[in-house]
Structure 1
Amino acid sequence: MKGSTIALDTWNGREAAALIVDGRLEDLFIEDDQPRPGNLYRAIAQRPMKGQGGMFLDTPDGSAFLRQVKGLSPGQPMLVQVTGFAEPGKAIPVTAKLLFKSRYAIVTPEAPGLNVSRQIKDDDLRESLLELVHDTLGEVALPEGAGLILRSSCAGASEDEIAEDIIAMAELSKAVLADMTGAAELLVDGEGPHGLAWREWSDPAEIDDQPGSFARHGVDEMLEALKSPVVPLGNGASMVIEPTTALVAVDVNTGNDTSPAAGLKATLNAFRDLPRQLRLRGLGGVVVVDPAPMPKKDRRQVEQALKAALKKDRVETIVVGWTNLGMLELQRKRDRVPVKGLL
Structure 2
Amino acid sequence: MKQMIVQCQPNITQMALLERGKVVEYAAERTGERGLLGSFFKGRVVNVLPGMQAAFVDIGQKKNAFLYIDDVLHPHLDKQPEVKPSITELLHVGQEIIVQVFKEPVGGKGARVTTHYALPGRYIVYMPLAGYVAVSKRIAKESERNRLKIMSEKCRTEKEGMIIRTVSESESLESIDGDLIQLRKQWERIQFKAETCSAPRLLHRDLSIVQRFIRDSYTEGGDEFVIDDEQRAKEAAAYFLEMVYSEIPKIHVYQGNQTVFEAYGVQEQLEKDFKRKVWLGGGGYVVIDHTEALTVIDVNTGKYIGGRNLEETVTATNLQAAAEIARLIRLRDIGGIIIIDFIDMEKEENRSRVLRTLEVEIKKDRTKSVVIGWTRLGLLELTRKKVREESTLFID
TM range (shorter): 0.7 to 0.9
Displacement, 1:264? Answer: 2.1
User: 1:283·1:336 contact (CA, 8 Å) conserved in 2?
Assistant: no
Displacement, 1:23? Answer: 0.9
The correspondence of residues 285-304 of structure 1 with structure 2, limited to 5 A, is 285-295=336-346, 297=348, 298-304=350-356
Task: Pick from 137, 140, 163 the counterpart of residue 149 of structure 1.
Answer: 163
User: 1:117·1:152 contact (CA, 8 Å) conserved in 2?
Assistant: yes
Displacement, 1:279? Answer: 1.8
User: 1:85·1:334 contact (CA, 8 Å) conserved in 2?
Assistant: no
The correspondence of residues 143-182 of structure 1 with structure 2, limited to 5 A, is 145-155=159-169, 162-177=176-191, 179-181=193-195, 182=198
Q: Which residue of 2 aligns with 1:31?
A: 29
Displacement, 1:15? Answer: 1.6
Partners of 1:48 and 1:321 in 2: how far apart? 38
Task: Pick from 350, 358, 361 the counterpart of residue 309 of structure 1.
Answer: 361
Summarize deviations over 1:13-67 as a string: whole Å, max 9, x none.
3122211121111212211547331111112112134543322111122311112
Q: Which residue of 2 aligns with 1:189?
A: 205
Displacement, 1:266? Answer: 1.8
Partners of 1:254 and 1:156 in 2: how far apart? 45
User: 2:106·2:389 contact (CA, 8 Å) conserved in 1?
Assistant: no
2:216 is aligned with what amino acid?
A: E
Summarize deviations over 1:265-289 as a string: whole Å, max 9, x none.
2222222222220121122122121
User: 1:8·1:18 contact (CA, 8 Å) conserved in 2?
Assistant: yes
Q: What secondary structure sits across from 2:103 in the alignment?
A: coil
Displacement, 1:153? Answer: 1.6
User: 1:81·1:96 contact (CA, 8 Å) conserved in 2?
Assistant: yes
1:285 is aligned with what amino acid?
A: G
Q: Which residue of 2 aligns with 1:22?
A: 20
The correspondence of residues 237-256 of structure 1 with structure 2, limited to 5 A, is 237-256=284-303
For the structure 1 residues 294 and 132, does the alpha-carbon distance in structure 2 shift closer, same or farther, using more than 3 Å as the test?
closer
The correspondence of residues 316-327 of structure 1 with structure 2, limited to 5 A, is 316-327=368-379
Question: What is the TM-score normalised by the length of structure 1?
Answer: 0.86
Question: What is the TM-score normalised by the length of structure 2?
Answer: 0.75
Task: Pick from 94, 116, 119 the counterpart of residue 75 of structure 1.
Answer: 94
Displacement, 1:207? Answer: 0.9
User: 2:104·2:110 contact (CA, 8 Å) conserved in 1?
Assistant: no
Displacement, 1:179? Answer: 4.9
Summarize deviations over 1:156-213 as a string: whole Å, max 9, x none.
7676654432211011123324555531111111233212111111323011123343
Structure 2: 5+ residue stretches without partners: 73-86, 230-258
1:283 pairs with 2:334 = yes
Q: Which residue of 1 aligns with 2:83?
A: none
Q: Which residue of 1 aligns with 2:270?
A: 223
Task: Pick from 324, 328, 334 the counterpart of residue 380 of structure 2.
Answer: 328
Q: Which residue of 1 aligns with 2:241?
A: none
Q: What secondary structure sits across from 1:75 in the alignment?
A: coil
Q: Which residue of 2 aligns with 1:99?
A: 118
Aligned-residue identity in percent: 28
Structure 1: 5+ residue stretches without partners: none
User: 1:283·1:338 contact (CA, 8 Å) conserved in 2?
Assistant: yes
Q: What secondary structure sits across from 2:280 in the alignment?
A: strand
- Structure 1 stretch displaced more, 13-22 or 291-300: 291-300
Partners of 1:215 and 1:66 in 2: how far apart? 43
**RMSD over equivalenced CA pairs, Å:** 2.8
Greater strand share, structure number: 1
- Structure 1 stretch displaced more, 45-54 or 84-93: 45-54
Partners of 1:122 and 1:213 in 2: how far apart? 42
Task: Pick from 214, 221, 231 the counterpart of residue 198 of structure 1.
Answer: 214
Partners of 1:312 and 1:174 in 2: how far apart? 34
Summarize deviations over 1:86-116 as a string: whole Å, max 9, x none.
2211111222211011111221133223455
Q: Which residue of 1 aligns with 2:312?
A: 261
User: 1:11·1:30 contact (CA, 8 Å) conserved in 2?
Assistant: no
1:207 pairs with 2:225 = yes
User: 1:267·1:302 contact (CA, 8 Å) conserved in 2?
Assistant: yes
Higher relative contact order (CA 8 A, sep 6+): 1
Partners of 2:50 and 2:131 in 1: how far apart? 32
Summarize deviations over 1:244-275 as a string: whole Å, max 9, x none.
33321100001243722222222222222222
Summarize deviations over 1:138-157 as a string: whole Å, max 9, x none.
xxx75x61122332223476
